Structure 1
Amino acid sequence: MTNISRDSEVVELNQPPLYNYGQKVRAKKTVRNDGTFMGKEIGEVLCKKGDEGYVVSIGTFLQQFYIYGVEFVATGYRVGMKRKELDPVETITTTASGASS
């Protein structure tokens, strides 16, 4: 049987997402189109290392990872990124009532 290579042995979905909706984040690396971004050529840069954006969606991939849809301010592109590809710019805390501060 073929061994499946995983980025990590940790299944992120066993814990809540690290980033919250509306949280400002920064790209840790340059991301290029792998063919899944419509209207852009394969290999075209979607975001550069250091670009900042906001988490606008949270999905999953391979029943293992969270994928954060990040809308980058400079380009307006929404790019799906893994936790390891992002750094927080600001921390959003949630109060007991569920309101963000």
Structure 2
Amino acid sequence: MGLGREQEVEIREPPRFIPGERVQATLHVKNDGSYAGKEIGENLVRKGDEGYVRDIGTFLQQFYIYAVEWVDRGTVVGMRARELMSLDKAAASGAVETARASTKE
């Protein structure tokens, strides 16, 4: 009796985001019943919302869960890495590209 397919053990690698990093939601996230005070199926985060990573935990000794503070919503929601993208790293890489372009001129 097998597991079918083995899922990636994310925690073998360092976390993708660090506390204090500015991130953006890449997907809509609805309450699956684990967020107290909200109805099941209610939107917790909308695609494009911006927030800050407050803390990093793990789930099932397999995945990182990022506690993200969504300042405009006044909530903290646990998110998976695939649901987030870094705005700080994007801004930093944009600054590097701008610097490279100006040195070529």
Which bracket does the TM-score occupy, shorter chain normalised?
0.7 to 0.9
Shift in Å at residue 60 of structure 1?
A: 0.5
Match of 1:35 in 2: 33
- SS state at 1:68 partner: strand
Identity of aligned residues (%): 51
Structure 1 length-normalised TM: 0.81
Match of 2:86 in 1: 88
Q: Map 1:64-79 onto structure 2 (within 5 A).
A: 64-79=62-77
Unaligned runs of 5+ in 2: 93-105
Q: Which has more helix, going by share of residues?
A: 2
* Paired residue total: 90
Q: Map 1:1-101 onto structure 2 (within 5 A).
A: 1=1, 3=3, 9-91=7-89
Structure 1 ranges of 4+ moved more than 3 A: none
RMSD of aligned alpha carbons: 1.8
Shift in Å at residue 13 of structure 1?
A: 1.0
CA-to-aligned-CA distance 1:11-34 (integer Å, 9 cap, x gap): 221121110000000000000011
Match of 1:98 in 2: none
